Amino acid sequence: MFLYKRLSPSLTCQHYYIIYDRNVKRLRIKRCVKRKGSIRMEEKNRDSYDSKYMKEAIRQAKKAALIDEVPIGCVIVYQDKIIGRGYNKRNKMGSTLAHAEIIAIQKASKKLNDWRLEECTMYVTLEPCPMCAGAIVQARIPKVVIGAMNAKAGCAGSVLNILEEKGFNHQVEKITGVLEEECRIMMKDFFRELRQRKKEKKMHT
Ligand SMILES: [Zn+2]
């Protein structure tokens, strides 16, 4: 404990960091092989990489809003290329299955000619529902980047955590909060407009 205390300021320094070693159940000090600057640069690069594809998912979500569907969009990336795009078309297609993620998975699988999407990353504007989280696990997608969380139906940790369920034979790495504000506001605005329209309709009838 003393050691931890003494070294804790160095958690932010470029030379050492402290990890909890599960095997020996104690804290260990590790020398950092990279300089602080390069770690920051790596994080910055990863952030802008994630934002770039999340912006594309948001673009998809806006297409849904244009046809009065709940604005949820998704893209699947393979080797730095988008191989599947999808947006919510539940009403348009009259199908429970027409969620953005399912549509994007189908397109990506068609492109790769494989149901396994093992080297792909999914970007989705809203935390996946139980059906889509299940499909992500089934498709063996290794990583999902999420915009806004969904407290009422999300299965990447909000209601359930299907993506990281140890009982399954595949776990999905998740990154949350990428362009969260933008994704959240997009949903909020959509439902506000919907309520407004319903109100106006009631007034005119
Ligand atoms: Zn879904």
Residue range 4-28: mean pLDDT, rounded: 54
Confidence of residue 20 (pLDDT cuts 50, 70, 90): low
On average, the pLDDT of the chain sits at 88
Express each pLDDT in 145-201 by its tens digit. 999 999 999 999 999 999 999 999 999 999 999 999 999 999 999 999 999 988 888
pLDDT top residue among 24 and 67: 67
> For residue 160, how far is its CA from the centre of ligand 1 (angstroms)?
13
Q: Answer yes or no: is 99 a known binding residue.
A: yes
Residue 9 has pLDDT above 90, yes or no: no
Active-site amino acid positions? 101
> For residue 41, how far is its CA from the centre of ligand 1 (angstroms)?
34
> For residue 125, how far is its CA from the centre of ligand 1 (angstroms)?
11
Q: Answer yes or no: is 15 a known binding residue.
A: no
| Partners of 146 in the β-ladder | 124
What does the buried/exposed string (b/e) look like for 16-51 if buried means 16 or more CB atoms within 10 Å of the residue's CB?
A: ebeeeeeeeeeeeeeeeeeeeeeeeeeeeeeeeebb
pLDDT of residue 34: 53
Q: pTM to 2 decimals?
A: 0.79
| Partners of 74 in the β-ladder | 86, 124
* H helix runs in 1-89, sequence order: 2-7, 36-66
Confidence of residue 25 (pLDDT cuts 50, 70, 90): low
